[in-house]
């Protein structure tokens, strides 16, 4: 109905006990995240109307994480391989001025 196509159907990401799916639109994509029983991921702000986090893919993953720490970012999810990204590593970093950012190696 919205012109999106399912790029990846719901897939369990065992490191965080969430199911994720990707929808592709012309010019971008959206990741849908659903916490499973026992997940540490909370949905407290889900009704706020604001995104929970932004996700960026990067060629220099290790450098980005080191730089985040060096600039005062807090790594709230250390790097881990993710089924949502074909085994590529991802990490969540909380930045004071930006909020929560998910970095994914390309």
User: Domains in the chain, please, with CATH?
Assistant: 5-105 (3.10.180.10)
Cα-Cα-Cα-Cα dihedral sign, residues 79, 8, 54, 46? negative
pLDDT digits (tens, 9 = 90+) for 30-63: 888 888 888 877 655 555 556 678 888 899 999 9
Phi-psi region of 45 (alpha: psi -120 to 50; beta: other; left: phi over 0): alpha
Contact 88, 106 (CB under 8 A): yes
Percentage of the chain modeled with pLDDT above 90: 48
Instruction: In whole angstroms, give the CA distance from residue 1 to residue 76.
Output: 36
Average pLDDT, the chain: 86
pLDDT, mean of residues 3-32: 87
Contact 7, 23 (CB under 8 A): yes
Q: Which position has the higher pLDDT, 27 or 24?
A: 24
Task: List the structure tokens of 103.
Answer: 């970095």
Q: Which position has the higher pLDDT, 74 or 97?
A: 74
Provide the whole-model pTM. 0.69
């Amino acid at each position: 109905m919205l012109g999106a196509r399912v790029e990846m159907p719901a897939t369990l990401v065992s490191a965080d006990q969430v199911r994720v799916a990707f929808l592709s639109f012309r010019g971008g994509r959206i990741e849908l995240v659903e916490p499973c029983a026992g997940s540490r991921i909370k949905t407290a702000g889900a009704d706020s109307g604001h995104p929970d986090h932004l996700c960026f893919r990067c060629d220099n993953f290790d450098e980005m994480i080191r730089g985040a720490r060096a600039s005062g970012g807090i790594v709230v999810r250390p790097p881990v391989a993710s089924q949502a990204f074909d085994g590529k590593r991802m990490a969540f970093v909380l930045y004071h001025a930006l909020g929560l950012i998910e970095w994914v190696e390309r």
